[in-house]
Amino acid sequence: PKELKAYLLYVRQESKTHFDAGRSSMDACKKIDLGPYAEWTEPERLFFNVERAYREFRGQAWDTPVDPITTFAGVGQLRNFYKSRLHGGQ
């Protein structure tokens, strides 16, 4: 739907800014302000979207294989980051 498209466009734009600044995809995820999307369930899914955008920016084909272990480890790391922020961390 319309909201999802707006979210994906926003994430791509933010990802490009962080990519151009030389940040890792994880650092980008930690810096992206989810704003109105922050209340969506499982915000750590942002990692999938940022990783996909970074592959595109590097010129990789859309069907380039992804290492699922590394990817899901990133999702877990981002989930822990969000949890620590909720409980007074970082």
* Domain boundary assignment for the chain: 2-86
Residue 55: exposed, middle, or buried by beta-carbon count in 10 A (0-12, 13-18, 19+)? middle
> Does 89 score more than 60 pLDDT?
no
Q: Is 61 left (phi over 0), alpha (psi -120 to 50) or beta?
A: beta
43-70 pLDDT, tens per residue? 999 999 999 999 999 999 989 999 999 9
> Does 88 score more than 70 pLDDT?
no
pTM above 0.85, yes or no: yes
